[in-house]
Every structure is written in structure tokens, then in C-alpha cells.
Chains A and B, each alone.
Chain A
């Protein structure tokens, strides 16, 4: 498969593919099947996540509400991680994926600092079965499955069929129809990253809260334990 260091964005380019994901938040039930499926697919170690579902409670009893927000790499069309990678380990695939070449990665963490979504992590060396560690890793949109005509693992197992995947350039694709026809938002679009993960109908307050520090004891104590165990880490991907 052809690759380029910084392939030109393929969105809207005739004859090219542009993989994208739509997440219909009306259908997300926070079941965490995607999280577990992703962990298994890649032998993702504890303490790092390629995808996670954030849970937020709002309101006052009895008018309380719960919200879910699945998170993953946005496979941006203007990816700051790619721009900032000094070794060309991170690159933009011509079909839209933002991918990582382990053999070129020096784990300098520049890409992690550049990513406004905390979508990247350093792979611990201690893993269950895959012997790759000490390099930066991230969601690949399951490029190895997609290139074999399969949906990503998280989409495959999504109980609510909240995650929808496809080629944005295909006018008959569901993602094309949804992005064209439904009110969708992308995360931190003001950063100019041109994210390619689209959310249907999130409440603005929830989007704002995703990046806010944890509030409850349950969440704060998890974050504290995480930072105690992972000294120097900047981001905790926990659920709450």
C-alpha cells in the first residue's frame, strides 16, 4: 500500500478513499465493548488506551442525566502530530489514516504534546504477548482490518451500532450521508486540525467537560493512582 510522509488530504478527491467515523451519540450506551475489543485486537497494555468512552453525569436529582462520549484518534486532515514528528515516524496515509512507524519512532513524545486530543501514548515494554514497546502508539482506524475490507474492531462490536465507519468520498456510503445530512460536530475544531471523527448531537456542555479535570472522588482518586503509578504522564484516559 502506498504511503507518503504527509499525503495530501484525500477528502473530496475523486477516485480516492477517505476513511472516517461517525459516532451517533443517541445510540451509545456506554457498554465499553469497544474498549475491550480494541485492547484485545492490539494487546493494548493497562494504563494506555487507543479508544475509551468517557462517562459524565449532569443535573440534579431527580432530573439527572448521564452522557457518554467515545474517544479515539481523529485521524485529522491537518494533523499536528505529523507536522511535529522529527523522525517522520508519524505519517498521513493517502486514504486518511494517521499512522505510526514504530521503527522510526524515538519516543520523544513531541507528537503526544502536539496532539490536542491526548490520542497518543508510549507503549509500555511489559506487554502480554506482543513484543513491541517503548515507542509511541495510537489508534490506526484498524488499517489492517479496513484494508482487508473489514470495519474497525470497535465498530464491529458496538452494541448500539453507534460507531459507523466508511469512505467519506463514496457518496453512497453511510458516513457520507450522515456527515452531509445530520448535524454533527467534531472535537476542538477551532484548533484547525480538521478531525475526521464526527459526532451526532453531543450536548455542548458534555464536550466542554471532556477536557475538564475529574470532579468526583471516584474519578479523582483513580487519576491520582494513575499518576502515582505512571510518573511523568500527562494524561489519564480513565472512564470517569
Chain B
């Protein structure tokens, strides 16, 4: 039977004799599942003319899928996945398909704006990009001059740059380091940071890349792969291929039934924050029943099976059942299935990680793949593959003085910083800001206790000057003094790479159309600004921005990439969007195949790749086998072979983490019972979630997506609702220690009875008229305007209520993650006078929450009490020092 026989993936062959006869009659002829071409071209349904096609890389979310933009008369009318792209294999998700609406959003800011009224009063004067960059440059120059005059380089850190989504390929760092500032604040601790910090010390990278297509068993914790999570589109395609095509079993843990639960063979709803207990119990069963991969543990980790068996003793399935509610008999069965079905993989995302002590939970799940030897196997749990590109030379040296802003020294293990702490650090006078800049960032909407950011940015003493680069009037941008709008992702230049496939790729973003209405991309704004900060070059900064424009800057980044030049260099990427071309997507299997229809196999076993003589030249081998060169571990010697190993000091997987224990954390994965687990019987746990058609804050203004999902009633179990006299659709009041919100109940069987879930997609108080359902209001004079469809055809009348303001600040003392799912609430029917959409929250309570969460840090008093089992010299923990967090 030809392996490309198309119907095998649909289980067709199971049907018996008659079907086999059909198949047999076809002989070895290769069939075409879909005889029509999958894509790569498009035609106007009105004129029949072929649409102009220009490749790009998506940026509606962070996965960076490859796309082709179709253009009619200079207007982008359609987007499609790039068929040459190994990650998304020619397909886009709903968000990706709708991305061109960002370009034509009638409320898009089309010109720089200077504030004329009070902060947040929405009074603006339109100015030119030239005027705007002059203003910004003079503000930056003031700080630099003061730093020079006082001979204090630390003053440069008063220039602060905060981003939510930075896909600039290092341009932000170049800009800030050129000016001598290290005050760069990311958003990662509201995203997935404790996942990263659960993984990195163990095996190097911050994410796993599962070979879903070839797996036989997928154990997924709190990662709604089919709707959201990291790599939604690529992972969803491959997970469906695995489950339906390869008959893999999918077991899914999530307190809420999302679309991944819909495909799962088994869905379990654990109590929030108990995934780690389940994973540890699974590990215990695997170890006790000797179902583990003895050779892999002994060869490739820094622990022994005996050590693990001893460590896992307390974590019985019965213990995990008590904590999570998932039956012990199911945990036992799943453990045996997971260990004996090969290949198998886990995947996890925010569910386990976004809790206080989320890093332990992630580390516990990661360990399951290690003890079963599924690491770097076909169909298993693999290292991510990506490509690097450098900033062009000359490069500015790193700024001298570290900044603690958003990276407080109490969190030395939080390698992705603790951005939630930024406003509190400023309000308490610990950090100072002179010029505050934001880029793709909307903390007034997206952060826990978001009202704190509103209060910070309204305070002109604390934030004397605020420049936003947002092309949309977000909840945060409307508090700016100056807005210098960026273009959209379809009108800008960037290098890209993401590990969305087991074959690495390099992609570009380019201007698929000329930026609309004289807007300019952020790179151009930065070039102009720096030429004004340092007009004669005497500060030594101008030399780093000697580019004509953004495209020239990005083109220079691709110069040094090995092999690209031979294929046509940057111009190849402009034409094809992605490099290299591994093959074509087979319409039958969706696998990447060569000209003969054979699959282009990804490489597996990267850790076992042997180092070359050149690699070994000048290297030394430590007692534990680690191969060291230039102070770094470049591999590990195993059984006389020099192998690439893992990105750890020993070159092995370090299940026992020296970095953790140094600060009094348990070096091995443990389960720590959270305060939310001890809530009172009448209380509930608030969780939030994303849906398949929205990002965190940027898509409520996209009409196709808003039409699909525009309101976010609170999911509540029928039993829970009935106990409170609440019926489906009732107005309810959700109260946390921070404040309350008035929303409606969505009574559903798809949620744990102790949990309330509210989507973060809706409930904007800014972000244009559509997001706020104010489309009947006049368009602002600075905006693009002009979509009669939005003016007349919007039929929904509920924009939802946003929950983030009542969510308590509480971070993981290890990885720094915000504990998004740790807020304890009460839910009642609405009180007299309550109106839908009311949200009240207390700044004072949030500041106390900040002080409280610092007590969990390694420097705090709660830390030791929570880690009695750790045997170290508690009186001599390392002193906190600034810079460790960067």
C-alpha cells in the first residue's frame, strides 16, 4: 500500500472488504486528496482578476505564522497562510485571517498627536512625525545631558521603555542601549514566565516543541491548544493529525471546557493550581511501578531513579485526588498509559504556570517526559528549533547600570522579569522615571489590578513625560502626552523566527502596501529620533542608526545568515516570505514532502548530535562530563562521545536545580498548596481565559472577530449558580478582595463547581469605537474613518465587562508569574443599584497585595515557612542585587 494513500488518515481502511477492494484497485498510483491547489493564488470574485500576492509574517498574536497578502487596487483584501511555511503550512487562524482589518480600522491613529487637555481627557493636537520626533528627542536629550552633567550613568535608566509585544529583532534593545539605558520592561510575567523558569534551568530553552503528528499519547495540562495557548495554529493542525490521523489518545486537564476538551478522549477538571500534584502523582506511579526509562534518567539527568522515588513518596494518587479532585484510579491509569504508550508527550501552558509556585508545577509536568525517555524522540517532547539573526554592526555596547524597574532584586530566578511590580516600585519611590515610552502595550487593560496602572500613568509627578507608539487609542495610549503612531504589522519590516515546527525557519515582515496615509513604521521613527538626539554624532549614538529606513535596517540583519545569501539573500525572503523551503505541503497528509512525495524528516535527538573537531578545539571536559569552552558549557561527554547535550551547566537535564536551592527553593519539583485551595465553602476561584478568535487586548476592534465573540458573561456551574439563586443570564456581582464587578452569569455544565471563568477578550473602555460599541459616535479627526459596514451593520449590543481590575496581584516567587488563577471571590445576585459593567477596585488594597506578595519572595518571611523541607543555611541566603533579573 502506498503510504500516501489519502483515505488512510480518515480511518477509511477500517471499513472492511469493500473499501479495501476500492483501495486495491488503485494499485500503487498516488492519489491527490484534493485535486485542486490549496492556495498561493487568489482571484477577485467580482472582476475575476488575479489578486496581487505579497508574502509577510503574521503578528496578530505572537506565533508569527507565514502569510500571503492579496491586494486589489492597492488595498489589502485578503490574507492567507503561506503554503511554503513549515510552521503554519498554508493556513491561518480566524485572527490571522482578520488581521488586515487592523490596517483599515476606522479608529486607527493616522498622525502623531500631542496632548492639549489633561491626561486622559482625549484632547489632542495633530502634529507631524517631524515635530513629534523633535519633541521626543528633546525629552530624551534632557535626560542624557543631565546624566553627563552629573557624571551619573544611572540617570539614563530614567529613560524607560515598556513593551507588551516586541517583535523587532533586537531594535528596542539597540535603541535603549545606544542611549545607555537598561530600563526595559517586558510583559512576560503576565504571560507565561513561570513556564519558562520551570523549564530553562532544567534543559535550556523556555518551551517544548511537541511532535503531535507522530505521537500516540498527549497529556495536556492547562493549554487550550485548539483555541489559544502558544502556537495555536501550528499545534492545532498537528494535534488533530495526531488524534484523528495517528489515533493518538488526548487527555486534557482544565477546570473549564474549551475546544481542546471537545476533542479530548478524556477531559478532567482539576481544582485550579493543582496540576502539579497530579503530575507528581503520575510520576510517583511511573517510578514505583518501574515503568520509567532507567537508562535515560541515569545517562541524561543529574538525578537517579532512587532519588526520585524517595522524593516522590508523599505524592500518592490519593493525595493528588484530595488536592485536585481528579480520581486516584484515573491518575494511576493515566500514569500507566502514559509510561507504556510510545511515543508520548506532555504539553502545558498557562494553566499550571500562572499561579504562585507555578514554576514547580511546570517542572513537575516536564519531568514526566524525562523519566519516560520521551525527550527528543519522534512523536515525543522535543527541544524547540529556531534561527538567530543579529543586529547589524556597529552595535551599541550594553548599557552600564542595571535597572531594577520591573525586575526587582527579590526575584533572582525570574529570568523573564516581574513587570507587574513596576508601578508599585515607582509609587513607593524606589524607581524614578523621566521619559516613559510604550510599544504594543496596554497594561491599563491587560494587567492584574489594572487600575494601578491607570493611577500611575495619570500621575504627572511619577511619569513626567509619556510617549506611546500605539496606532490605536488603547486604555493606556489615551493617557499619553505624545503619540507617535506605528504602522500595522502589514506595513513594517522585521526579521522573524519561531519554533512552530521541528524544522527551523526564518521569515520576514515587509511593507506589503505603502504605509497608509503617510503613517510611518516605528523603525523610521526611531532612526529620526536618534538623529535628533545626537545630530552631530558627538554622543556616539547616531552611528548605530545610519540606516536610510526600516527596510535597510532589517536587510542588514540578514547579511550574516549562513546559507541565505546563496539562495538569494534578503530578496529571496521578500519574494517568498520564509526560508528555507523544505518542500511542499502534501495535500493528503499535510506533511512537508520533497519532489518525490517523501517526507522531509525533521531531525530528532538533537542532544545526541556529536560535536565536531572544531567545536572541541580548545574545549575542556569537567569531572561531570560537561564540555566547557570560553566559560560556557557547549556539550557533554557520554560514554566517550562528545555530544551537544542540553543547555544547562552540566549539559544534562537538571531535574535537580542548583539555582533554585541557592535561594531556598526546592531543587526538585514539589507541590505547594495555595491559599485559594483553602478558600471558604461559599467562596469560588476566579479564572480567566482566551478564546479562539481574540488576543488579549488588540482584537476587539476587528469586526469579524468582534462579531464572533463580543461579550464575556461569567461561566458558572449550574449547582453553584443554583446555590446562590442565580439563573442563566442573571446580573451578578463578582467580589474579590480588590473590588467587584457587575456582569452576567453564563450557567454552563462546562466548568468546575468551585470555579468562575471570565474571558479577558471583552470589556474595553477604549480601543476605538467598535470595541466600546460606540460606532454611532463621530469618528475622531485624527482617525482613518470610513467603514460603512461598521457604521450600519453592527448588530450586537453587549461589549462585555473586563475582569482584570478585580484580580489580585500575587506572583510566583520563583518564576515571577502573575497568579492569574489564584483570586478568591464571592458571587451573588447583583445588589440594588448595580449596573451591568460596574467595576470598582481599591488602589490601597492593591498596594497591600504588592507588599504581601513580596513576603513570598526569597527575601520574605513567608518563603522560609513554606520551604521547611529545604536543608540549607537559611541565615546566609545570597544578598539581593539589582540586575540579576535581567
Binding site for B on A (CB under 8 A): 24, 26-27, 29-33, 35-37, 39-43, 45-47, 57, 59-62, 64-68, 124, 126-130, 132, 140, 142, 144-146, 148-151, 153, 155-162, 164-167, 170, 172-174, 177-178, 180-182, 200, 216-218, 220-222, 225-226, 228-230, 239
Contacts and interface: CB of A to CB of B under 8 A. Distances in A.
A225 B798 CA distance: 9
Contact of A33 (B6, B38, B46, B91): B91
A42 B45 contact: yes
A89 B379 CA distance: 53
Contacts of A165: 34, 36
B659 interface: no
Tell me whether chain A's interface is mostly helix, strand or loop, or mixed.
mixed
Interface stretch (B402-410, B468-476, B556-564, B783-791): B783-791
Nearest to B225: A29
A164 B849 CA distance: 53
Nearest to B22: A181
Contact of B708 (A32, A57, A172): A32
B703 interface: yes
Given A46-B789, A61-B749, A228 B797 contact: yes
A229 B42 CA distance: 34
B34 A57 contact: no
Contacts of B31: 172, 174, 177
Contact of B711 (A57, A62, A148, A218): A218
B41 A41 contact: no
B728 A61 contact: no
6 contacts: A33-B96, A61-B752, A153-B42, A156-B38, A225-B797, A229-B795
B655 to A, nearest CB: 32
A150 B750 contact: no
B717 interface: yes
Contact of A66 (B77, B79, B262, B791): B262
A162 B18 CA distance: 24
B36 A181 contact: no
Interface string B304-348: 000000000000000000000000000000000000000000000
A178 B92 contact: no
Interface string B7-18: 100101001001
A239 B708 contact: yes
B43 interface: yes
Contacts of A173: 32, 35
B93 A33 contact: yes
B237 A62 contact: no
The residue among B7, B81, B94, B693 with the most chain A CB atoms within 10 A of its own CB is B94
B850 interface: no
A226 B798 CA distance: 11
Contacts of A167: 35
A150 B733 CA distance: 52
B226 interface: yes
Contacts of A221: 711, 729, 798
B371 interface: no
Contacts of B796: 222, 225-226
B12 A170 contact: no
B142 interface: no
Given A67-B262, A221-B798, A156 B7 contact: no
B4 to A, nearest CB: 12
Contacts of A43: 77
B26 interface: yes
A146 B10 CA distance: 24
A174 B19 CA distance: 13
Contacts of B788: 126-128
Question: Which 6 A-B residue pairs are closest in the complex by CB-CB distance?
Answer: A217-B729, A66-B262, A36-B97, A229-B795, A126-B792, A46-B793
A151 to B, nearest CB: 5
Given A30-B262, A149-B36, A160-B244, 4 more contacts: A30-B259, A126-B791, A144-B43, A166-B35
Interface stretch (B263-271, B359-367, B392-400): B263-271
Given A36-B94, A46-B790, A181 B261 contact: no
Contact of A64 (B33, B44, B96, B750): B750
B464 interface: no
B97 A66 contact: no
B34 A66 contact: no
A30 B93 CA distance: 11
Nearest to A239: B708
A181 B50 CA distance: 37
A195 B748 CA distance: 34
Given A29-B226, A32-B692, A61 B704 contact: no
B805 interface: no
